[in-house]
Structure formats: C-alpha cells, structure tokens
Amino acid sequence: MAKVSVLNVAVLENPSPFHSPFRFEISFECNEALADDLEWKIIYVGSAESEEFDQILDSVLVGPVPAGRHMFVFQADAPNPSLIPETDAVGVTVVLITCTYHGQEFIRVGYYVNNEYPNPELRENPPLKPDFSQLQRNILASNPRVTRFHINWDNNTDRLEAIENHDPALGCGFPLSCTPIKGLGLPGCIPGLLPENSMDCI
C-alpha cells in the first residue's frame, strides 16, 4: 500500500504568460514517516511526437516527511523555448508532475496545457516563428490525469514487493524509470494510453 497519497494539486497563477514560472501547490498525505526524501519533478512535454523534446523543468527533494498531511509549493521556471519545436509551440501539450521515492515513480499527474495567443489578431494569423512573449499558457487544471504505480516503500526489498514491481500492468507501458517518457502525447490518444486511475484497471 502506498505510503504517500496525493490529495490535491492546485495550479497557481493560471493562466499566465508563457515565460512565467509554473507553480503547483501540492498537498499529500503520508501514513508512515518516510526514511528518505521524496523527489518531485515537473516535466514539460515539448512535442507530442518525441520524447527528445521533453524538458525537466525542475526537480526538488521534499523532506523530511513525517506521518500526516503536508503541503508545499513547487515552482519551476518556464520551459526553454529554444528546445521546443516551432511547430509545437502553439497548441495543446502536456505538463507532468511526477514523484519518486527511492528512484521509483509512484505517481504521475498530467495536465493538458494550451498555449495560445490571447490577442485575437495573432490567433488568427500566428507568426511563423512563435512569439513566446505573446503566448499565454493555460493549464487545464480541472482535469488532471493521475496515474499511480505500486512501488516498494520499504528499504528491505522483500519478496512480496518485488513481485509487485513486476506487475504486468506496470510492465506494459509505464516503466518505472524516472526518465521522462511520453506519457501524454497527442490529446487524442491520451485516454487510451493513460487510463484514468490506471490502478483501478490492474
């Protein structure tokens, strides 16, 4: 059973200009004091087509975590526009918040992000080279996509947990590595790829 469960993620300052930092207020509950820190990451998916454009915006350690409810604000700088393919700069993409414990990812929260020009003129006739200073970022805060993974919470890798880690459901598309993966790509294929509350399906 997961020792940490995320209770809520509130998206702060939304919508905001493209260059302003991301801010998420994360509250979570821990039912047993953790020996080590949690590692949180914000990953910005630059292009739905390829993982190579994923940017880890930031990664922080959170700790110590005693039993109880906790909250913190996770702030990360805006993505580097130069790493984003020009064709993908405007439109819908995804931002991921992941949390790992002992290098094992146990939760992944994905938000759709819509980058568009608030200026109707620009919207009608977008410049060929995206003008990031004019872009507005709008996170679809009301509809987070949450995927939970079973991990080994104890230091001693006991047999039972080890088996769980090879859960077929996990093996089939959500490797436990922390490397950014294409969890959320094209909006159209998202429901298939990332079933809501995938745990329920296991």
> Residues interacting with other proteins, by CB under 8 A?
1-2, 5-10, 23, 25, 27-29, 31-33, 37, 58-75, 109, 144-146, 150, 160, 164, 167, 196-197, 199-200, 202
| CB 94 within 8 Å of CB 145 | no
- CB nearer other proteins, residue 34 or residue 89: 34
Task: State the nearest-atom distance from the C-beta of 34 to other proteins, in Å.
Answer: 11
Residue type, 15: P
What is the C-alpha separation between 92 and 88, in angstroms, rounded? Answer: 8
DSSP letter string, 12-57? PS-SEETTSPEEEEEEEEESS--SS-EEEEEEEES-SS-GGG-EEE
- CB nearer other proteins, residue 124 or residue 200: 200
Residue type, 153: W
Task: State the nearest-atom distance from the C-beta of 153 to other proteins, in Å.
Answer: 11
- CB nearer other proteins, residue 138 or residue 153: 153
- CB nearer other proteins, residue 25 or residue 49: 25
